[in-house]
Structure 1
Amino acid sequence: MAGTKIQELTLEEVMSDRFGRYSKSIIQERALPDIRDGLKPVQRRILFAMNKDGNTYDKPFRKSAKAVGNVMGNFHPHGDSSIYEALNRMSQDWKVREPLIEMHGNNGSMDGDPPAAMRYTEARLSKIAGEMLRDIDKETVDMVLNFDDTEYEPTVLPAKFPNLLVNGATGISAGYATDIPPHNLGEVIDALLYLLDHPKTDLEHLMQFVKGPDFPTGGILQGIDGIKKAYETGRGRVVVRSKTSIEELRGNKQLIRVSEIPYEVNKAVLVKRIDELRLLKKVDGISEVRDESDRDGLSIAIELKRDVDAQGILNYLFKNTDLQVTYNFNMVAITHKRPEHVGLKTILSAYLEHQQDVITRRTKFDLDKALKRQQIVEGLIKALSILDQVIATIRASKNRKDARDNLVASYDFSETQADAIVALQLYRLTNTDVTALEKEAAQLAKNITGYKEILADPKALNKVLRKELREINKQYRNDRRTEIQAEITPLKISTKVMVPDEDVVVLVSRDGYLKRSGVRSYKASDPEDNGLKDEDYPIFTEKLSTLDHLFMFTNKGNLIYRPVHEITDARWKDTGEHISQTIGLADDEEIIATYAFNTLKAPGEFLIATDDGYIKRTVFKNLLPGRTYKSSAKIFEKLKSDQAKVVNVTYLPQPAKASVLLMSRFGFALRYDLAEVSINGARTIGVKSMNLSEGDSVVDLQLVNDDDTVALITQRGAFKKMPASEISVTSRARKGVLALHALKSKPHEIVDFIKLKDESSPLEVITDRRRLHDILPAEHPMNNRYSNGSFVIDTEVEGIPEMLRNKPTILTLS
């Protein structure tokens, strides 16, 4: 076609340009509030349209559908649902601090219930919304044509109160989001009055008036530093906590009463979440959760069981439900047609600037109107003084225009004055009082002087602004609802709150399987039928509480920690979980010692020995679990080489008077005072325990006294018991003395040794073929250290001994 201009553009250029325009549009004209009146375009259009339609607080309510249709048809060509949603939000007193819309009918609830359809509800502007629109008909704000150029709409409202801070704002646009919390109207006006008198004041002085947000739902706001940062930069983080109290009930029971919840938290979802925690037994001690809210206010009752830690449960709920939330300030508003992060002083200054502009425009309008009226009044006074001539002149004229021209020519009236005289109806002449006109003229002169002074002197203008702010303050001020606390209270949650105190049987196997079983499951099963593989065996079986703590030490120097309640709950006949499901173990890594504690503040220390001749003591608190205990083990012994292994870990609840006894594979035994072993940290090697010859290694460690008896087993299957006194106490890091009789052919080597607790209690030997062999020490004679004992195991049939231990006793549970 002739005249058609085709442009060749890349898709990238077209997309970039169009999206840029779209982004600018939704940032400026949809999602973000204006810093001056705190309104988004849809909200401004709703208020303006309802005001224009006379749908104000002093008139009867009208159907919401009428307001929505009016807004959509004249000013906001978008979906009716988005307009109705905005209308509703402005009426919800749990969302906005000072509702701008009054509504009859269901306008939603704190439980997230949707409002009734717009054909059912009725709405009108609230009284305070009238202050947003006051003087809009006095050319106080810029007006622009609407989308179809048929009507004018305001770009901003006069806003006689600081709506942006009072009602806050939330919105999401392209690249920008805003979250401005509601504030107390009285406090904000106090700050404005102070700023008006002290334009160079700092944030600290302004915060003496604006303490922080004031949510319509009340609650407790913690973190003054977060508020200060937000008021300075536009970004900040605070904690909002429910207002709660603990009530005493009969039967030694208690009840947590929630009377205020954090801003924008859905009450029904919150109650459901607390009840879920009760049902899932995530927290122990809640018997019932009830929503008892009524027309008198919000009330959630959390009834507790007998003799429970109410504060502990409350802390758990604060941490794990929306009874406590984090509120993030993100104060973004449109300033001079641009989105910006704004602080408190910027918002207050922009509002004052806007009000000064509104008052200036209004005063110009009033001045112009007063000057016009003054001219007419002067003309009427003059006309009344020569009334007969004026009437005669008008009667002699041909028409209205001729009458006006004759009055101007004959009596020196202005055209405006002549128009007013000609338009005067005859009946008005009968009651037109010159004194009334003179009084009006004097008043007009006074007003005109006042208007000119306001326009000429900023101080006079600020005086008017100050007076208007005080009037708003006097009429609409109300008490603060949100309590502000300077510090964020740390939440300490006792395990007893989260975990019911139950007795369980815990099993740990040599190969790394662990489980906890209920006492009933254990009693109903054969203790030997523990679900382990044939070649595996338990190294720890104890009746514990779910509140206890388990420390498992491996031969590779790793400590695995598990609270008992976190161990997999399985039937006694089941295998349980393998520790490598959460923590990786080496192929040849085994658990060599397991201890249970009822507190992580236990006293004492651990005595640790390695096969390559090192020993140390480490205090309990050095082995406390870290945050990553579930996925990684803690190192309790740093091994000097990859081949080295830990042979024993002994817990000493208090300083022991016993001596350390070590034996080596080649048959050497060394004994010295425990005091010679120094205390070292977790990630250390320790000190030299024994002077080993090449190829020799430490097989075990025991704490003994002179009256103790020790038993040992050799690789050839010989068993020997002897008094500990046979090994004299010397000093650390020596070679020691022989505890076996040296043979030139097939010499015996010590595999393991143990301190006998009771000679009548059987011992158990475990071989490399995972065979178990029982020995009754009472049946064997006492030997001296030069003896090799007596053969008890046929190594060709049962395998070579690997370990000697006290035979596990079967738990007898009452």
Structure 2
Amino acid sequence: MAKKEPIKEHILKNSLEEILADRFSRYSKYIIQNRALPDARDGLKPVQRRILYAMYEDNNTYNRPYHKSAKTVGNVIGNYHPHGDSSVYDAMVRMSQDWKIANPLIDMQGNNGSIDDDPAAAMRYTEARLSKIANYLLMDIEKDTVEWSPNFSDEKLEPTVLPARFPNLLINGISGIAAGYATNIPPHNLNEVISGCIYRIQNPDCTLQEIMNFVKGPDFPTGGIVMGKQGIVQAFETGKGKVIIRSKVKIEETKTIQKIIIYEIPYEVIKSNLVKKIDEIRLNKKIDGLLDVRDESDRNGLRIVLDIKKEANQEAILNYLYKNTDLQISYNYNMIAIDNHSPVQMGLIQAMDSFIEHRKQVVTRRSQFELKQKMERAHIVEGLIKAVSVMDEIVRIIRKSKDKNDAKNNLIQRFQFSQNQAEAIVIMRLYRLTNTDVFELQKENEQLNKQIKELKQILSSQEKMASVIIKELKEVNQDFITPRLSDIENDIQEIVIDHKAMIADEQVMVPITYDGYVKKVSLRSYKSSSEAITNHKDSDHLIAYGQASTLQTLLFFTNKGNYGYLNIYEIEEAKWKDLGSHLSSYIKMENQEKVISAYLISDFDLNVQIICATKYGMIKRTSLKDLSSTRHNKTMAIMKVGSMDEMICAKVSSHPEDFICIISEMGYAFQYEVSQIPQVSGKTKGVKSMNLQKDDCIADIAIGNFTDGQFLIVTSQAQMKRMKTKDIVSLKRPAKGNRICKLVKSNPSLISKIFYCEPKYTFTIYSQDLYTFEAKEIPIMNEQATFSNPFGKLNSFEWIENLEEIKKGEWIENEQHKEIQISLFDMES
């Protein structure tokens, strides 16, 4: 028994880093060159090329019956592409989908998916064949026009590139992701690109601008509007650029409603997802006036119908949908393809030049192949013609010969025929000896000589070769007339979303509570409710409520020195008896923030001031204009408040001659001009408003033009008194002020509120029962008097204010101004 030789060890003594780097670089090279990126010459990835060639090899062409898709997939996997069947079938399906590829290369019969992203039927159910245009990619492949390489099993040869009579890379586009590279090439119009190539061949030194007279830009199979000429130019120059694709829509009007008809959508947008997103916007009431969304697409084309109210602003609705759905998308050019075995980012001219150079090589190789065949045939025809003239002697020589080879040798020796000529003579049939066939041979010889001359001219003349390439390009152009589907617009239309333009102006009731609960209630629901006060938690209380327009904005201030605002139309609608939603569901807020004041505004650009005061005596003045923000998704600081302090109120001043009256809980009060408070921006502490005694703090402030009128002062137990404005001393800030009520040590009362009022003003408080009264019902008293008890002593009550609108003021700093008084706090019912 022979002794087995020991197996020699083969150990790599390399670092793990070196081994991984080597293996990954090989893998990356394979992925880049042989899987994910297209070849610049035929515009195909390897799997696509293998599918097309396998179908061509199997005679599965456009002019023959369909074959089962499963058969094609089997041929591709078994002969050329050793990967999963799903990857091959998916590539087949994509090449057949006319909404993804401008000129489908495969004609598939059966369910090949849909623009709604429905999957294609299984390969055993569908049938396919090459489309007519695919024939132009494979034409002349049998004439040694391209290089061939062994397949994975070395049993067969496969083409490394197809002859490609048209620039498929630009016409059909492609996308793919490799290791470190990605490509995204949109489809372009076939007739435009071919015309551009013809012009480039005729004018090799032409500029991009000249080419763009033919190639306008991308032309997507789903149509749409391509905006941004600058992005197209940049992409054509460098291979990278960005364009905007917008849907095409039209408006139809009926007697009762308007209809927005969407009949073309952006490239690679899934229609069903688009319809779903628009319907979500409708259901969530992001757009007022959108009544219904329907997909009415059928075999006649795409059609999405949006029903909108008759009075709705169609332009505003469309702008919102362009911004928030795939009704408008951006498309990024990234034209990377394999050129000369390397990934190259190429512009339009480079892509055309790569195709043109490929066509020159194909025509050269084809001409050489055909020239060789023609010359061989011409040589044989010459021998046959010569043989006809001495046919009697040739017959005698053949009859005397031992066998075929002896006959050939004898003919060569006697008449100096070549080996090929002698072979043709001995296998020639006797009927070819007629005069007719002699004439045909002479005619064929003339034709062959003419063709040989033309082929030699093609190979020797660049001009002749260019004319051949142009002629073949024109044939494709004539066979496939392709109207442009996508419109090109030079400028990108800016999307300006006017949310208010989409909102119907409706009147609603808006209550807001101390804990931050808010809602909007239709007037119908409010009037049908038997409850005077809206529902809230037992530990909460109502700050204000009032009638508002859905076009207005709710501005609120919190005890943490912050402010926030939200549009009334954004507030969730509820019933009057419902609790409502917390402000934190709309904007971000700090923990334990409580609402202390709220107003309605229609515009931030008003000449009014916001006066903010804290519990321990700080005050500041800020312009309303400074509160406007482009992003208001969270509360923002209007005043820096100490950790032991809190903001107690935010009041509005609309006139430079306004006065402020400030009152402490222990009953000290004085007034001074609002102009004494410096105007500063947010995130500052402000200045000292009042000198407070120990254990005292600010109760409230009142603002207005106090030349005439009274103050209504309220205690924490709902005791009240009226005082004339002139009875409260005017001092410079800060000051201690004077007492405005008699101190009753046995039953001390803390001041809670102060209001500037006139006798006709109406107020409301709530404590189990609702109390509404006019200011004139409360006695006018001097500073020595105590308080009256119009409702008895109430240990717990809610002071309910009207949710008032901040209106236009006349605040002009350091300038002469008109004597205009605008009351912002009229409580008149």
Q: Report TM bin, short chain.
A: 0.7 to 0.9
> Pairwise CA RMSD of aligned residues?
4.2
Aligned counterpart in structure 1 of residue 376 of structure 2, from 372, 375, 395: 372
In the TM superposition, 1:348-387 aligns within 5 A as 348-387=352-391
CA 202–742 in structure 1, closer or farther in 2 if over 3 Å, else same = farther
Instruction: Confirm whether residue 321 of structure 1 aligns to residue 322 of structure 2.
Output: no
What is the identity, as a one-letter code, of the residue corresponding to 2:452? I
Tell me what 2:78 maps to: 73
Instruction: Confirm whether residue 179 of structure 1 aligns to residue 184 of structure 2.
Output: yes
CA 681–142 in structure 1, closer or farther in 2 if over 3 Å, else same = same
Residue by residue over 1:551-601, the C-alpha shift from the partner in whole angstroms, topping out at 9 and shown as x without a partner, is: 1123443211122344455555555455467534476x643321013x345
Tell me what 1:708 maps to: 709
| Structure 1: runs of 5+ lacking an equivalent | none
Residue by residue over 1:680-734, the C-alpha shift from the partner in whole angstroms, topping out at 9 and shown as x without a partner, is: 5455667x7868599898752421232211244689999654322346888x758
Deviation at 1:783, TM superposition (A): 4.7
Tell me what 1:789 maps to: 785
Query: Conserved in 2, the CA contact under 8 Å of 1:668 and 1:735?
Result: no
Structure-2 separation of matches of 1:261 and 1:748: 71
In the TM superposition, 1:659-738 aligns within 5 A as 659-662=659-662, 667=668, 669-672=670-673, 681-682=681-682, 700-712=701-713, 721-726=722-727, 738=738
SS of residue paired to 1:153: strand
What is the identity, as a one-letter code, of the residue corresponding to 2:568? V
What is the identity, as a one-letter code, of the residue corresponding to 1:603? L
Query: Conserved in 1, the CA contact under 8 Å of 2:656 and 2:675?
Result: no
Instruction: Confirm whether residue 651 of structure 1 aligns to residue 652 of structure 2.
Output: yes
Larger deviation, residues 260-269 vs 76-85: 76-85
Deviation at 1:24, TM superposition (A): 3.8
Larger deviation, residues 369-378 vs 150-159: 369-378
TM-score (norm 2): 0.83
Aligned counterpart in structure 1 of residue 567 of structure 2, from 563, 568, 571: 563
Structure-2 separation of matches of 1:651 and 1:263: 53
SS of residue paired to 1:322: coil
CA 553–116 in structure 1, closer or farther in 2 if over 3 Å, else same = closer
Instruction: Confirm whether residue 163 of structure 1 aligns to residue 168 of structure 2.
Output: yes
Structure-2 separation of matches of 1:145 and 1:718: 102
What is the identity, as a one-letter code, of the residue corresponding to 1:99? P
Tell me what 1:460 maps to: 464
Residue by residue over 1:20-40, the C-alpha shift from the partner in whole angstroms, topping out at 9 and shown as x without a partner, is: 544444443333322111112
CA 700–186 in structure 1, closer or farther in 2 if over 3 Å, else same = same
Tell me what 1:134 maps to: 139
Tell me what 1:431 maps to: 435
Tell me what 1:2 maps to: 5
What is the identity, as a one-letter code, of the residue corresponding to 1:34? D
Query: Conserved in 1, the CA contact under 8 Å of 2:542 and 2:798?
Result: no
Larger deviation, residues 324-333 vs 161-170: 324-333
SS of residue paired to 2:222: coil
Structure-1 separation of matches of 2:802 and 2:440: 116
What is the identity, as a one-letter code, of the residue corresponding to 2:610? L
Tell me what 1:292 maps to: 296
Tell me what 2:637 maps to: 635
SS of residue paired to 2:434: helix
Deviation at 1:426, TM superposition (A): 2.2
Structure-2 separation of matches of 1:513 and 1:108: 49
Structure-2 separation of matches of 1:788 and 1:619: 38
SS of residue paired to 1:208: coil
CA 685–167 in structure 1, closer or farther in 2 if over 3 Å, else same = same
What is the identity, as a one-letter code, of the residue corresponding to 1:635? A
What is the identity, as a one-letter code, of the residue corresponding to 2:131? S
Query: Conserved in 2, the CA contact under 8 Å of 1:507 and 1:516?
Result: yes
Deviation at 1:434, TM superposition (A): 5.4
CA 645–80 in structure 1, closer or farther in 2 if over 3 Å, else same = closer
Tell me what 2:213 maps to: 208
SS of residue paired to 1:595: strand
Structure-2 separation of matches of 1:303 and 1:429: 84
Deviation at 1:428, TM superposition (A): 1.0
Query: Conserved in 1, the CA contact under 8 Å of 2:691 and 2:736?
Result: no
Instruction: Confirm whether residue 258 of structure 1 aligns to residue 262 of structure 2.
Output: yes
Instruction: Confirm whether residue 487 of structure 1 aligns to residue 483 of structure 2.
Output: no
CA 778–78 in structure 1, closer or farther in 2 if over 3 Å, else same = closer
Deviation at 1:366, TM superposition (A): 1.5
Structure-1 separation of matches of 2:612 and 2:29: 71
Aligned counterpart in structure 2 of residue 270 of structure 1, from 274, 289, 299: 274
Structure-2 separation of matches of 1:532 and 1:757: 34
Tell me what 2:120 maps to: 115
Query: Conserved in 2, the CA contact under 8 Å of 1:293 and 1:300?
Result: yes
Larger deviation, residues 279-288 vs 155-164: 279-288
Deviation at 1:13, TM superposition (A): 6.7
Instruction: Confirm whether residue 303 of structure 1 aligns to residue 307 of structure 2.
Output: yes
SS of residue paired to 2:96: coil
CA 751–546 in structure 1, closer or farther in 2 if over 3 Å, else same = closer
SS of residue paired to 2:158: strand
SS of residue paired to 1:790: coil
Instruction: Confirm whether residue 194 of structure 1 aligns to residue 199 of structure 2.
Output: yes
Query: Conserved in 2, the CA contact under 8 Å of 1:282 and 1:499?
Result: no
What is the identity, as a one-letter code, of the residue corresponding to 1:145? P
What is the identity, as a one-letter code, of the residue corresponding to 2:387? A
SS of residue paired to 1:706: coil
Residue by residue over 1:313-344, the C-alpha shift from the partner in whole angstroms, topping out at 9 and shown as x without a partner, is: 33333333333333333333222333343332
Instruction: Confirm whether residue 312 of structure 1 aligns to residue 320 of structure 2.
Output: no
Instruction: Confirm whether residue 334 of structure 1 aligns to residue 338 of structure 2.
Output: yes
Structure-2 separation of matches of 1:694 and 1:233: 75
SS of residue paired to 2:320: helix
| Structure 2: runs of 5+ lacking an equivalent | 805-826
Tell me what 2:821 maps to: none
Instruction: Confirm whether residue 474 of structure 1 aligns to residue 478 of structure 2.
Output: yes
Query: Conserved in 2, the CA contact under 8 Å of 1:661 and 1:701?
Result: yes
Larger deviation, residues 427-436 vs 355-364: 427-436
Larger deviation, residues 387-396 vs 137-146: 387-396
Structure-2 separation of matches of 1:697 and 1:120: 84
What is the identity, as a one-letter code, of the residue corresponding to 2:650? V
Instruction: Confirm whether residue 239 of structure 1 aligns to residue 244 of structure 2.
Output: yes
Structure-1 separation of matches of 2:715 and 2:275: 67
CA 6–500 in structure 1, closer or farther in 2 if over 3 Å, else same = farther
Structure-2 separation of matches of 1:65 and 1:806: 77
What is the identity, as a one-letter code, of the residue corresponding to 2:707? D
TM-score (norm 1): 0.84
Structure-1 separation of matches of 2:114 and 2:681: 59
Structure-2 separation of matches of 1:608 and 1:741: 26
Structure-2 separation of matches of 1:734 and 1:544: 38
What is the identity, as a one-letter code, of the residue corresponding to 2:294? R
Query: Conserved in 2, the CA contact under 8 Å of 1:162 and 1:188?
Result: yes
Residue by residue over 1:461-484, the C-alpha shift from the partner in whole angstroms, topping out at 9 and shown as x without a partner, is: 223222222222222232100112
Deviation at 1:347, TM superposition (A): 1.7
Tell me what 2:148 maps to: 143
Aligned counterpart in structure 2 of residue 605 of structure 1, from 594, 604, 608: 608
SS of residue paired to 1:161: coil
CA 107–574 in structure 1, closer or farther in 2 if over 3 Å, else same = closer
Deviation at 1:198, TM superposition (A): 3.9
Tell me what 1:51 maps to: 56
Tell me what 1:248 maps to: 253
CA 804–255 in structure 1, closer or farther in 2 if over 3 Å, else same = closer
Deviation at 1:358, TM superposition (A): 0.6
What percentage of residue pairs aligned between the two structures are identical? 44
Query: Conserved in 2, the CA contact under 8 Å of 1:606 and 1:617?
Result: yes
Structure-2 separation of matches of 1:723 and 1:458: 106
